[in-house]
Amino acid sequence: MRSLRRTIVAVLALALVAGAIYAIAAVLQRSETLVSERCTAVSGTGSYELATDQAANASLITAISVRRGLPPRAASIALATAMQESQLRNINYGDQAGPDSRGLFQQRPSQGWGTEAQIMDPVYAANAFYDGLVKIPGYESMEVTQAAQAVQRSAFPRAYAQHEPMGRAFASALTGHSESALNCELRMPDAAGDPAAVVNALTTAFGTQAATVEGRSVRLDVAGTQAWAVGQWAVANAKSLSITQVDVAGQTWNREKRNGWVPGAAPTGKVTITVSAPAAS
């Protein structure tokens, strides 16, 4: 009888422990503070990860290539270069080899890239890189190391190659050639989003867009690769712009659900970017 009671007590204790573990796990799963914010791009069987600020810079560099009508290969080369030079961050310092190097591409005023203020402007810096790249005959078929070195004149030219797979994956997604290939896992915004800020950022990246603001949403009439370029740019910038949902060609990315791109209701030829609402008073 005592043995039976001990068994019952042990079973109840285990049930209580299991219930507590389940409850704790459920709370942790819902906890915003434990979300590890990051962006990933998928290419074939490979998945490549960037921090949210790196992804935002990658999206700008790539959008400028789209704006200029360059092939995705140009963006791949640019992203691999910027990753090697600055870790895709707009840093205001150089190194021993180039103490006056600055910005995403570590361009140097002393080598004629522009003033320090110009180089620290990511739009200027990306365009300056592409200006150099398009002057190289046949750059599209060159190895990344060859093309990047021809532009950058680096002391370590072979180092660019290690970032080629990442560059290719993010460039393919952000140029719109790989649909629903870029996802960012984010905590929910702390503040309301501003549709006008989204339109301004879109214009900076892609040029003037025929965008319509309806409430908390920005709607664009774009299709094909351009639609996916804009849509995945929006996901890459969701953290800084408080974007909560993006709808592209029958697919939806929802920040709160954190389940990547799933079937949605957006019709072909339409992109909708929705920002967070003001907090309830």
DSSP letters spanning 55-116: HHHHHHHHHHHHHTT--HHHHHHHHHHHHHHHSSS--S---SS-TT-BTTTTB-GGGTS--H
Which of 140, 174, 208 is the last residue before a domain boundary? 174
Residues 60 and 159 in one domain: yes
Residues 170 and 48 in one domain: yes
pLDDT reported for residue 265: 78
Q: What is residue 129's predicted lDDT score, i.e. its pLDDT?
A: 98
Same domain for 58 and 165, yes or no, is: yes
CA atoms of 193 and 205, how far apart (whole Å): 18
Block residue for tokens 């090697």:
84
- CA-to-CA distance for 234 and 202, rounded, in angstroms? 9
Q: In this structure, are residues 169 and 181 in contact, taking their beta carbons and an 8 Å threshold? A: yes
Domain-terminating residue out of 174, 206, 222: 174
Number of domains in the chain: 2
Domain-embedded: residue 2? no
pLDDT of residue 31: 55
Q: Are residues 170 and 199 in the same domain?
A: no
Which domain covers residue 64, as residue numbers?
40-174
Task: Assess whether 164 and 213 both reside in one domain.
Answer: no
Q: Is position 5 within any domain?
A: no
CB atoms within 10 A of CB 256: 11
At 27 the pLDDT is: 41
pLDDT at site 268:
84
Q: Which residues pair with 212 in a beta bridge?
A: 219
Q: How would you write the pLDDT of the chain (281 residues) with one tens digit per residue?
A: 555 556 554 545 565 545 544 544 444 444 556 779 999 999 988 999 999 999 999 999 999 999 999 999 999 999 999 999 999 999 999 887 789 999 999 999 999 999 999 999 999 999 999 999 999 999 999 999 999 999 998 767 788 999 999 999 999 999 999 999 999 999 999 999 999 999 999 999 999 888 999 999 999 999 999 999 999 999 999 999 999 999 999 999 999 999 999 999 778 889 999 999 987 65
Dig out the tokens for 179 from the structure. 């649909």
What are phi and psi for residue 213, nearest 5 degrees? -95, 125
Structural domain includes residue 129: yes
Task: Verify that 198 and 158 share a domain, yes or no.
Answer: no
Could you give the angle at which helices 224-236 and 164-174 cross, rounded to 10 degrees?
Answer: 120
Task: Report the 10 Å Cβ neighbour count for 71.
Answer: 13
Task: Encode burial over 3-32: b for 16+ CB neighbours within 10 A, e otherwise.
Answer: eeeeeeeeeeeeeeeeeeeeeeeeeeeeee
Beta strands in 179-216 (DSSP E): 182-185, 211-214
Buried/exposed 183-204: b ≥16 CB within 10 Å, e otherwise: bbbbbebeeebebebbbebbee
Question: Do the domain assignments include residue 164?
Answer: yes
* Count of residues in the chain: 281
The CA-based angle 44-268-211, given to 5 degrees, is 105
From residue 43, give the alpha-carbon distance in Å to each of 171, 172, 236: 10, 8, 16
